[in-house]
Amino acid sequence: MIQHLSKRASGSKRSAIRELLKLTERPEIISFGGGLPAPETFPHEEMAAIAGDVIRENPQNVLQYGSTEGSRTLRKLMSEWLRPQGIDVGIDQLLVTTASQQGLDLLCKAFIDPGDVIFCGLPSYLGAIQSFRLFESRMVGVELEDDGMNLDILEQRIREERAAGHPLKAVYVIPDFQNPSGISMSLEKRKRLLEIARREDLLIFEDNPYGQLRFAGEPIPSILSLDDEGAGRVMMLFTFSKVLCAGLRLALLVADGEMMDALVRVKQPSDLCTSKLTQHMAARYIQQYGLDDHLAEIRKIYRVKRDAMVEALERYMPKNEGISWTNPDGGLFLWVRLPESLDTEAMFPQALEHQVAYVVGSAFYVDGRGQNAMRLSYSLVSTEDIDEGIRRLSDLVREELGSISKSGSAA
Ligand SMILES: Cc1ncc(COP(=O)(O)O)c(C=O)c1O
């Protein structure tokens, strides 16, 4: 029966990292692989009470289908919450999606034809890469610098792609504490990216799950909030997964006018509507508690973990000019670069022997590079285990460096 697969499904692959991460589920392994939010950040008691309340109060409503656009109450609350952040949108510019992964899927359904070029960071979020691949886009990677995408290279790639006759469509960017690198894009670059997008008539898909998880430094305005063109060029995704509970499967997609209309049209055949129950739970949580106090608590948790990881890296990693790591002011991830001679995928079985795990860098590179890098998430691991895990990882790196220099001298 396999001959009946669509071209799309037969061309799609299971995520290599999810397969690798299955190997890390053994309890003795300290895994920095999973990019999930820390479960201690979930307000579970409050949510349990709210679930009971909203169902008992109005079961005919919350257990029913809802509108494709999403709950008006939730959208109104969120439009009020977004306004002080410079995102001045009414409820008609907010679409509730089944978390931001569906938002990415809808952006592709509404705007991407096979062969359309999407520029994305090297490295970039794997789930977005999977969506862009499924919709047969042409993904063109652009190297990241410490302050975000290298825009000179973006301009160069735009020229090359145009010269080759490829249709240019969008830039995908995770401006704050990017997954997987933890890098944020500077204000100057956000403004320049907008100028480039206007000049070249590109859409910007701004995916921002981590901006609210800033535990140090000053917030940088979102690209959407800087866009004064009024053309709806920037579409932004804001998920509840990292700020409330990932299991609610809720996000907002911010878009304007005709763009929104197209997104609603492609969402309808996808799922008719996002779960009304979880939308009502999120809305009630915001009404009862607000998001800000909760966010302040979450940020403290991640800050302690980030500190523990950076301190452990400084303490244990071999001193070698080819080894560096990012030190993000927020989010869940840190990106480690090793000397070019090391390959984190080839090292992975030894990492499991050392009872430590990470995500291999190449998983996040649309051009297959990134072999000497790895993503570490501090989110799910206790500070004690972060220390021990980084010690194990550093031992592994030391051994690998030793075996490379031995085989180098023997050659
Ligand atoms: C950059 C980015 N976008 C989107 C998602 C998907 O999140 P969700 O579907 O839970 O909103 C993630 C999850 O880790 C992410 O890191």
pLDDT computed for residue 45 by the predictor: 97
Ligand 1 atom nearest to CA at 246: 10
Q: Give the residue among 282, 345, 362 at the shortest CA–CA distance from 47.
A: 282
**Tokens 């609210």 belong to which residue?**
212
Locus of tokens 């800033």: 214
111 pLDDT above the threshold of 70: yes
**Contact 376/32 with Cβ under 8 angstroms?**
yes
Q: Is 127 near ligand 1, meaning CB less than 6 Å away?
A: yes
Q: Are 107 and 235 in contact (CB under 8 A)?
A: yes
212 pocket-lining for ligand 1 (C-beta < 6 Å):
no
100: CA distance to ligand 1 center in Å? Answer: 6
Measured CA distances, 190 to 50, 186, 194, 224, 331 (Å): 39, 6, 6, 9, 19
pLDDT tens readout for residues 300-322: 999 999 999 999 999 999 999 99
Structure tokens at 137: 């886009």
Using a 6 Å cutoff on CB, does residue 239 contact ligand 1?
A: yes
> Closest by alpha carbon to 283, among 36, 70, 60?
70
pLDDT of residue 411: 37
Question: Which residue has its alpha carbon closest to ligand 1 atom 14?
Answer: 35
User: Position 93: which residue type?
Assistant: Q
Locate 161 and state its tokens: 């792609």
Does 252 contact ligand 1 (Cβ within 6 A)? no
Q: From the alpha carbon of 208, which atom of ligand 1 is closest? A: 1
What is the average pLDDT value for the chain, to the nearest integer?
A: 95
> How remote is the CA of residue 209 from the centroid of ligand 1, in Å?
6
Confirm or reject: Cβ of 379 under 6 Å from ligand 1: no
Please tell me if the CB atom of residue 99 comes closer than 6 angstroms to any atom of ligand 1. Answer: yes
Computed on alpha carbons and rounded to an integer, the radius of gyration of the chain in Å comes to 22
Task: Specify the pTM.
Answer: 0.95
pLDDT in tens, 268-295: 999 999 999 999 999 999 999 999 999 9
Q: Is the CB of 101 under 6 A from ligand 1?
A: yes
pLDDT of residue 15: 72
Query: Ligand 1 centre from 331 Cα, in Å?
Result: 12
User: Tens of pLDDT along 30-65?
Assistant: 999 988 999 999 999 999 999 999 999 999 999 999
* Helices of type H across 246-326: 257-271, 276-289, 292-316
Q: Tokens standing for 396?
A: 């592994």
pLDDT given at position 22: 77
pLDDT tens, position by position, 401-410? 988 766 654 3
pLDDT digits (tens, 9 = 90+) for 252-264: 999 998 999 999 9
Residue 7 has a pLDDT of: 84
pLDDT of residue 12: 78
**What is the rounded average pLDDT of the residues 145-172?**
98
**Residue 181 pLDDT more than 90?**
yes
Residue with CA nearest ligand 1 atom 16: 179
> Which residue, 327, 239, 333, 360, is CA-closest to 291?
239
- Strands, E assignment, 34-137: 94-97, 117-122
Q: How many H helices and E strands in the chain?
A: 15, 14
Is 190:220 a contact under the CB 8 Å cutoff?
A: yes
Strands 356-357 and 333-337: unpaired
Give the pLDDT score at 47.
98
| pLDDT over threshold 80, residue 11 | no
**Distance in Å, CA 288 to ligand 1 centroid:** 26
What does the pLDDT average to over 82-94?
94
More confident site: 321 or 198:
198
140 forms bridges with which residues in the sheet? 119
Chain CA centroid to CA 170, Å: 17
The token duo for 98 is 């089944």
